[in-house]
């Protein structure tokens, strides 16, 4: 594995790989790798010939009162994990390398999909994400880019941006990965103390019980959302920010479950803002409940 810090060098290595007839895969990250990140690298390694993983804590996607300075970092550990996943290039640019002229004056904005859910509490976040991802697509020129479904809104936004701008990149969503206790894997889990970590389990438990209600025949979004709110409210260390049923493709609110929808939640647990979701696929009497691929837990459940 080669560690690269310069845009010019990364672009040259990707050009060389394409010139040799290799497909280029991209996994954009902010580092502090866990099993979820490694699952993205594994999927990319299987699907592409030349794998680039980027590690950049992007300042433009953090608001003024967010955790940019405190965001967990472990370059040495991340490099070892990436090498174990047979990554070809780990790109670790500085802020000055990515934004040599200061904060960018050109910003990529995806209207509609970014206003609600996490966008309501983090108004600058998605513009920062889409702008830096567009830059990475331009630098790397991947045939395929891999993103986790835990950040479901981010995945939908990037897919729409890629389609709207006719970018020649296949954006693939990879399963949400859970800890053995059900908590969705996140770099921000490192902020949780022991009591907060136990409390955080209520989010995945509430989503699982919501899935059970859908499997039992419930189709009303407000009922599903209320059930999640009631469960989370019983855990005083967890402050629910939102729970909403949305269309999985457009992120429009849905009054009833039909087709593919996502039940998404966000909550503050101590210093950590945590997000989680379950994807529900409803086609008549056939239902699938996709909670991801946790160790020791079930993933997709279906009836009949």
pLDDT at residue 299 greater than cutoff 90: no
Count of structural domains within the chain? 2
Using an 8 Å Cβ cutoff, are 207 and 228 in contact? yes
141 and 212 within one domain: no
**pLDDT above 90: percentage of residues in the chain:** 95
List 37, 101, 109, 286, catalytic entry? 37
- Residues β-bridged to residue 260: 281
pLDDT digits (tens, 9 = 90+) for 164-174: 999 999 999 99
282 and 202 within one domain: yes
pTM of the model: 0.95
pLDDT digits (tens, 9 = 90+) for 105-156: 999 999 999 999 999 999 999 999 999 999 999 999 999 999 999 999 999 9
Q: What per-residue confidence (pLDDT) applies to 293?
A: 87
22 and 153 within one domain: yes
For residue 241, is it within any domain?
Answer: yes
131 and 42 within one domain: yes
For residue 180, is it within any domain?
Answer: no
pLDDT digits (tens, 9 = 90+) for 18-60: 999 999 999 999 999 999 999 999 999 999 999 999 999 999 9
CATH number for the domain spanning 220: value is: 3.30.1300.10
Q: Can 125 be counted among the known catalytic residues?
A: no
106 and 8 within one domain: yes
Domain residue limits at 105? 2-174
For residue 32, is it within any domain?
Answer: yes
Among 153, 174, 195, the domain-final residue is 174
**Whole-number Å distance between alpha carbons of 158 and 160:** 5
158 and 44 within one domain: yes
Backbone angles phi, psi at 153, to 5 degrees: -65, -45
């Amino acid at each position: 594995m080669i560690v690269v810090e310069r845009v010019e060098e990364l672009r040259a290595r990707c050009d060389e790989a394409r010139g040799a007839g290799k497909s280029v895969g991209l996994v954009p990250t902010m580092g502090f790798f866990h099993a979820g990140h490694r699952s993205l690298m594994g999927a990319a390694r299987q699907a592409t010939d030349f794998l680039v993983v980027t590690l950049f804590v992007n300042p433009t996607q953090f608001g003024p009162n967010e955790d940019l300075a405190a965001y967990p970092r472990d370059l040495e550990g991340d490099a070892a994990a990436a090498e174990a996943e047979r990554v070809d290039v780990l790109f670790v640019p500085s802020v000055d390398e990515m934004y040599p002229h200061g904060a960018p004056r050109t910003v990529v904005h995806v209207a509609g999909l970014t206003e609600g859910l996490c966008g309501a509490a983090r108004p600058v976040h998605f513009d920062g994400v889409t702008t830096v991802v567009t830059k990475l697509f331009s630098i790397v020129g991947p045939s395929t880019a891999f993103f986790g479904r835990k950040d479901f809104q981010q995945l939908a936004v990037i897919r729409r941006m890629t389609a709207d701008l006719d970018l020649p990149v296949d954006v693939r969503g990879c399963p949400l990965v859970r800890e053995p206790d059900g908590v969705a894997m996140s770099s921000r889990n490192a902020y949780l103390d022991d009591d907060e970590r136990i409390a955080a389990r209520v989010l995945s438990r509430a989503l699982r019980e919501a899935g059970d209600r859908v499997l039992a025949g419930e189709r009303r979004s407000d009922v599903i959302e209320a059930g999640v709110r009631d469960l989370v409210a019983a855990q005083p260390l967890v402050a629910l920010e939102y729970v909403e049923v949305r269309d999985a493709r457009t992120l429009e609110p849905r009054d009833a479950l039909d087709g593919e929808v996502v039940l998404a939640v966000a909550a503050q647990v101590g210093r950590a803002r945590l997000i989680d979701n379950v994807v529900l696929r409803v086609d008549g009497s056939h239902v699938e409940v996709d909670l991801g691929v946790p160790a020791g837990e079930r993933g997709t459940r279906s009836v009949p």
